[in-house]
Amino acid sequence: MVISADRMNHGRSGLVVVAVMTTNAPKYPSHIAAPATVTGAKRDGTVMCEHLHTVSVERMSPRPIGQADAAVLAQVDTAIRRILAH
């Protein structure tokens, strides 16, 4: 899941910040469910908010797999803030 701000996603660095996703069910408080019925993806997913990475936009698929709704995004935001102690 891309979590960086749009200005960074389209910036000169060519980098985006992502939280790794898996199809496994959430196991920890830092794992946020991203159901296919909400995201439009083919499968249910889990955002692992403790697994943050910076990756090149060149490694990203040109077409999004799905899109999280406001409720999932709010949960991801809360989990990441808790992890980063902000």
CATH of the domain at 10: 2.30.30.110
Pairing between strand 31-34 and 45-56?
antiparallel
Q: pLDDT by residue (tens digit) across 45-81? A: 999 999 999 999 888 888 888 999 999 999 999 999 9
Q: Is residue 38 part of a domain?
A: yes
Q: Is residue 25 part of a domain?
A: yes
Q: Is residue 49 part of a domain?
A: yes
Q: Which domain holds residue 64?
A: 6-84
C-alpha closest to that of 32 among 70, 58, 4:
70
Whether the pTM exceeds 0.85: the reply is yes
Q: Is residue 34 part of a domain?
A: yes
Q: Is residue 1 part of a domain?
A: no
For residue 11 the two structure tokens come to: 């910036």
Q: Is residue 11 part of a domain?
A: yes
CA-based Rg of the chain, rounded to a whole angstrom? 13
- Total tally of structural domains belonging to the chain: 1
Please check whether residue 41 is in contact with residue 1, taking contact to mean a CB–CB distance below 8 angstroms.
Answer: no
List Cβ neighbours of 20 (8 Å cut-off, separation of 6 or more).
47, 48, 51, 52, 53
Q: pLDDT by residue (tens digit) across 7-49? A: 888 888 989 999 999 999 999 999 999 999 999 999 999 999 9
